[in-house]
Amino acid sequence: MAAPKAVSDRISMSPQIEACSAVSAFRVSVNTQEARSKRQQKASPTKARDGIADTHPLGVGKDRTLQAQRLLSHPPQSLHLVAPVWNGGTRGISGLSRVVAPEGNQKKGRSLLQFLADRFYDVEALRDHLLRKRVSKVHQKNRPFNHINQRYGPYVAGAYFILKQGGAVRFQGREWIRPNQRGHFSLDFLKLQAVPVEAVDASGCAINYQGLDSLLALKELQSLWLQRCPHVDDWCLSRLHPLASSLQELSLAGCPRVSERGLACLHHLWNLRRLDISDLPAVSSPGLTRILVEEMLPSCEVLGADWAQDLKLGPEEQPRDTAGPTPA
C-alpha cells in the first residue's frame, strides 16, 4: 500500500499568506513548495536510503523553524498558478493544493500521476524514477560508437549513428539510406569507408549536445536537417562551427528549444546558402529575428517567419502584399 502523506503535510499555514489572501485570486502560494519540502525533510519509511530518521526530539520545532525561514526569506513567487485554498470557505482545510487542468486524455493521465505524487511517497519515487529513466534513454541514444569509428572510419560511424536514431543519410554520389518502419537498415554502407557523407536528415531524432560529436566528424557535410528535434537547443547550435567550410543547407524548423540566442552562432557558417528557421516556438519575435539573421548571413536564403507579421499597419498606410519581402 502506498504510504499516504498526512493532511498537514499538504497544507502550510502561514500568517503571511493569510494576510495577502484578500488581494488577488491567482496569487501563487508557497504552500505546495512548503509541503513538499517538509515531506522531503521527514524520513519516509519507504525510502530505505534515508537511513537516519528525523532525530530531533521536537521534530515539530525543526520543521517550524525551517518553514519560517523559508517564508520570510522567500516571498510568494509566480512559479505556478494555484487555486487559493481559502476559497470563500468552500473547500476548507482539505482543499486541493494544485489545479488539475482538464485537458486531453494524455494530460489527464499525467495530472493524475501528479495528483497521486503529491499525496503518496511511493508514487513520488516512482515518478522520479520514470523521469530519470527517460533522461538516461536519451543519453543512451546519443552514445558515441567508438568501436565503429576505429574500425570503419568517421563517415561510417556518423552514418550508423544517424541511422540508429531513425534518421536518413546520403553518401556522396549515392541514394538516401533510410531505416524502414521497424527501424532496421541494411549494413551495405559499411564498405563506404572513404566516401564522405553529404547529407543528413535527422528530423525528429533525439540527438542532443553529446550526440553531435558523431555528426561533427563528417567534415564534408553539405546539408543538415534537424527539423523537429526535441533536444537540439542553443548549446548545440554553438557547436556547429567545425562544419563551416562545407555546410550549405541547414534546417531547424520546428525545434522547440532553439531561440534567437542560438541563431546568433550561425554566423560562423559562412558557406551557408539555405537556412530554414520557421516555426521556432522559443524565438521571442520571429519576424525581427528573421530580418536580423538575414542581415547576419547576407549570402544565405533564409526561410522563416514572415517579417511583417509582427508589424501593425498605421491608419494611413495601405495594406501590402505580405507574402514575401518587397524586392529592393
- Nearest-10 Cα torsion for 46, 52, 56, 58: 20
Amino acid at 305: A
Backbone angles phi, psi at 142, to 5 degrees: -100, 20
Instruction: Return the number of the residue (6 or 303) whose C-beta is nearest another protein.
Output: 6
C-beta of 253 vs 264, nearer to another protein: 264
Q: How far is the CB of 199 from another protein (least distance, A)?
A: 24
Judged by beta carbon, residue 295 or residue 321, the one nearer another protein is 295
Please check whether residue 128 is in contact with residue 134, taking contact to mean a CB–CB distance below 8 angstroms: no
Are 294 and 302 in contact by the 8 Å Cβ rule? The answer is yes
Task: Label residue 306 left, alpha or beta by phi (over 0 means left) and psi (-120 to 50 means alpha).
Answer: beta
Q: Minimum CB separation from another protein for residue 85, in Å?
A: 10
CB of 123 to another protein, least distance (A): 12
Q: Of 52 and 328, which has the nearer Cβ to another protein?
A: 52
Kindly state the smallest distance separating residue 194's Cβ from another protein, in Å.
28
Q: Could you tell me if residue 136 is left (phi over 0), alpha (psi between -120 and 50 degrees) or otherwise beta? A: alpha
CB-based contact 253:228 (threshold 8 Å)? yes
Is residue 186 within 8 Å of residue 204, measured between CB atoms?
A: no
CB-wise, 55 or 146, nearer to another protein? Answer: 55
Kindly state the smallest distance separating residue 184's Cβ from another protein, in Å: 33
Q: Residue numbers of the site for another protein (CB under 8 A)?
A: 6-9, 11, 13-15, 18, 32-33, 36-38, 40-41, 43, 50-52, 54, 60, 63-74, 77, 79-80, 86, 89, 93, 114, 124, 128, 135, 209, 234-235, 237-239, 241, 260-265, 267-268, 284-285, 288-289, 292-293, 295-296
